[in-house]
Amino acid sequence: ARATSGDLATSPFKAVAPNKRDAVTVAEGFTTSVVMRWGDRVVAGAPAFDAAKQTPEAARQQFGYNCDYVGVLPTGRDEAVMVVNHEYTDENLMFPADTYTPAQIKAIAMSNHGMSVVEIRRGVVPGDWRAETNLRKAKLNRRLHIETEFKIVGPAAGDERLMTIDDPSGRSARGTLNNCAGGSTPWGTVLSGEENFNQYFDKSGALDARYTAQYARYGITGTGKGWSEVDSRFDLTLDPHEPHRFGWIVEVDPMSPTSTPRKHTMLGRFKHEGANIVIAKNGKAVAYMGDDERGDYIYRFVSAEKFDPARTAKARRHNLTLLTKGTLSVAKFSGDGSEDGEYDGTGQWLPLCTDTTSYVEGMSVADVLIFTRLAADKVGPTKMDRPEDVEPNLVNGKVYAALTNNSNRGKPELPVDEANPLASSMVRASPGAPLTSASGNRNGYVLEMTPVGGHAASRFTWDLLLVCGDPAAAETYFGGVDKATVSPISCPDNVTFDNEGQLWISTDGNVLGSNDGIFRVPTQGPLRGQVRQFVTMPRGAEACGPLIYDKNRSLFFAVQHPGEIDGATFENQASTWPHTDDFPRPSVVVAYRRR
Ligand code: FEO
Ligand code: CA
Ligand code: CA
Ligand code: CA
């Protein structure tokens, strides 16, 4: 085969039409393999999956539920290690009726959260990758779960607000929760964002009055999932600091299966989507991050020390400390007016703190890092429409943010601005239904940021590359390209890039009546903004974690929550994808050129 025969970046393809099929439908000429499914064995000795015989112990050795971020790091020419987030569980779809007690369901669901590390190897067709099935050989395989020990590092480690009954030192956390998006680092680790951690905490009495404002800003209400019946640390009344051990960026070293993963306080605490790193021209490691809530912010971290590119153990040890010291900032966007016919303007990074100095009045460094949302509120950043993935494009030096949607935009408390311009948008109920107007921004945007003076500098310019939706809707915009040539796209969520610098976007929550999917978009040249659908998801699923790997031969992605449709149950499923059982199994998939 020619070296470029599988090239996902340069091959033209016919866009996949929007559909409601219960299938992964990929563009003609390409095909897909399922790499790992919910329940597949991860570590040696794990029991085979049986939906009627689930246990917490088994779940902690098997591939967890609802795969999200997918990272792939090479370990050889034909071998690699895949790191996957397991964001949350859908108990209605996971458990046959009358098989488990409510307490068993909670304990098994808890153990289906976390992350998996899985060795993979190239298949017969070059772009295909399969999980290593000889688990005794797969030395890197690992399951991080609700009982895994994490070290809390950075300036806030040891703070009183991180001390719990479990850990009176404030320097360790048990488990990771709601791991959503992520990114890999130039030093070969994976960063994973703890997102909607607020939902896991109950209360047996009053909430601690010291944290009224803090709990409120993070949506921690004590109306949790009843997990405190399984583990009392999820009772806020008993253990008011336990939620402070979540909401961090987690760093995992997949090359070292016995290493203790870390939670980085220097990157702040919010509903983290993930963190994506670029090395600035001054050598500093820069992490871009989103806080996925309606009206929340985009953040940036710049390391105090420089990245060491040497391939030595000493350099790696140094690089592993880069995220513990530096400056955390939040973004403010200013528009230059609508007269130019474009949504664009200038931007500024407003510093919140360094590892030693707070820039927020009345708040210490630890205050800023543990209650980052409250600190940011005080410096006047721009309230965004659900910033999800924020990722640098290493080819063109720009940074791209998926702003998924915001049904509240345009309400009095959230007026429109040039970076979040829509107070209404066109949606449809089913593929054939007419477009109708709905309040707020329903289809989302892709925001492009251009650093001025490098990634570590304080200013940038910005524009909306995409105003998503149906191209027939007047408000949509696709980088200026002819709208007759684009695919409809709704609710951009995760982004990645191929080696040519083209953007790949996965969607979550399509409101144009069809299933979610993944799209390819040129970012430069005459076709800039030409969105083309490459693959569509099964019923009820969102697409997550797209990753282009192996010289543009392979597109990895996660099919998250197939079958998640109101009223669906284990016995009455809306999807059976990937069609290996009579119930759906969230899975990681790889797409590649058919041979
Ligand atoms: Fe877990 Fe913001 O998506
Ligand atoms: Ca403008
Ligand atoms: Ca997501
Ligand atoms: Ca991404």
Is 478 among the domain residues? yes
Find all residues with CB under 8 Å of 72, minimum gap 6, and list them.
80, 81, 82, 83, 120, 129, 547, 549, 556
Instruction: Report CA Rg, the chain.
Output: 23
Collapsing DSSP states into helix, strand and coil, what is residue 33? strand
Please indicate whether residue 292, judged by its CB atom, sits closer than 6 Å to ligand 1: yes
Do 59 and 207 lie in one domain? The reply is: no
Region 352-369 average pLDDT: 98
Q: Is the pLDDT of residue 499 over 80?
A: yes
Residue nearest to ligand 1 atom 1, measured at CA: 180
Please indicate whether residue 296, judged by its CB atom, sits closer than 6 Å to ligand 1: no
Region 579-590 average pLDDT: 98
Residue 5 pLDDT grade (very low, low, confident, very high; cuts 50, 70, 90):
low
Do 184 and 298 lie in one domain? The reply is: yes
Residue 582 pLDDT grade (very low, low, confident, very high; cuts 50, 70, 90):
very high
- Alpha helices (H) along 80-182: 91-94, 102-111
* 394/390 Cα distance (integer angstroms): 13
Residue 578, preceding peptide bond in cis (omega within 30° of 0): yes
Collapsing DSSP states into helix, strand and coil, what is residue 451? strand
The per-residue pLDDT for range 223-253, each reduced to its tens digit, is 999 999 999 999 999 999 999 999 999 999 9
CA of 479 to the centre of ligand 2 (A): 13
Task: Report DSSP state, residue 406.
Answer: B
Structure tokens at 168: 């009176």
Q: Is the pLDDT of residue 312 over 50?
A: yes
Is 262 among the domain residues? yes
The per-residue pLDDT for range 251-298, each reduced to its tens digit, is 999 999 999 999 999 999 999 999 999 999 999 999 999 999 999 999
Which pLDDT does position 353 carry in this prediction? 99
Is 1 among the domain residues? no
The per-residue pLDDT for range 113-156, each reduced to its tens digit, is 999 999 999 999 989 999 999 999 999 999 999 999 999 999 99
- The secondary structure of 521-549, three-state, reads ECCCCCCCCCCEEEEECCCCCEEEEEEEE
Of the candidates 327, 342, 475, 462, the one whose C-alpha atom is nearest the C-alpha of residue 410 is: 475
Do 489 and 534 lie in one domain? The reply is: yes
Is 18 among the domain residues? no
CA of 195 to the centre of ligand 3 (A): 9
Do 112 and 186 lie in one domain? The reply is: yes
Residue 431 pLDDT grade (very low, low, confident, very high; cuts 50, 70, 90):
confident
Instruction: Answer whether 0.90 is exceeded by the pTM.
Output: yes
Which pLDDT does position 6 carry in this prediction? 66
The per-residue pLDDT for range 452-480, each reduced to its tens digit, is 999 999 999 999 999 999 999 999 999 99
CA of 337 to the centre of ligand 1 (A): 31
ipTM over 0.90: yes
Q: Is the pLDDT of residue 205 over 80?
A: yes
Residue nearest to ligand 1 atom 3, measured at CA: 180
Do 185 and 200 lie in one domain? The reply is: no
Q: Is the pLDDT of residue 4 over 60?
A: no
Q: Hey, what amino acid is at 65?
A: Y
Rounded alpha-carbon distances, angstroms, from residue 494 to 73, 150, 209? 18, 26, 37
Share of the chain above pLDDT 90, in %: 97
Please indicate whether residue 390, judged by its CB atom, sits closer than 6 Å to ligand 1: no
Q: Is the pLDDT of residue 3 over 50?
A: no
The per-residue pLDDT for range 49-80, each reduced to its tens digit, is 999 999 999 999 999 999 999 999 999 999 99
Please indicate whether residue 180, judged by its CB atom, sits closer than 6 Å to ligand 1: yes
Mean residue pLDDT across the chain: 97
3-state helix, strand, coil in the chain (%, to 5): 15, 35, 55
Which of the listed residues 205, 225, 246 is the one where a domain comes to its end?
A: 246
Is 491 among the domain residues? yes
CA of 273 to the centre of ligand 3 (A): 7
Do 570 and 584 lie in one domain? The reply is: yes
Residue nearest to ligand 1 atom 2, measured at CA: 292
* 238/33 Cα distance (integer angstroms): 47
Please indicate whether residue 388, judged by its CB atom, sits closer than 6 Å to ligand 1: yes
Do 232 and 282 lie in one domain? The reply is: no
- Which atom of ligand 1 has the smallest separation from the CA of 87? 1
- Which atom of ligand 1 has the smallest separation from the CA of 388? 2
CA atoms within 13 A on the CB side of 72: 29
Do 579 and 469 lie in one domain? The reply is: yes
Cβ atoms of residues 81 and 73 within 8 Å: yes
Instruction: List, in sequence order, every beta strand (DSSP E) within 123-261.
Output: 129-131, 142-144, 149-153, 172-174, 179-184, 190-194, 249-252
Q: Which residues of 218-244 are buried (b: 16+ CB within 10 A; e: fewer)?
A: bebebebbebbebbbbbbbbbbbbbbb
Q: How far apart are the first and last CA of the chain?
A: 9
Structure tokens at 83: 């790191």
Do 127 and 78 lie in one domain? The reply is: yes
Share of the chain above pLDDT 70, in %: 99
Is 171 among the domain residues? yes
Query: Domain residues for 211?
Result: 196-246
335 DSSP β-pair partners: 345
- The backbone region for 469, taken as left when phi is positive above 0, alpha when psi lies in -120 to 50, beta otherwise, is left
Residue 595 pLDDT grade (very low, low, confident, very high; cuts 50, 70, 90):
confident
Please indicate whether residue 516, judged by its CB atom, sits closer than 6 Å to ligand 1: no
* 242/449 Cα distance (integer angstroms): 36
Region 332-358 average pLDDT: 97
Do 237 and 156 lie in one domain? The reply is: no
Which pLDDT does position 266 carry in this prediction? 99
* 533/429 Cα distance (integer angstroms): 20
Cβ atoms of residues 347 and 330 within 8 Å: no
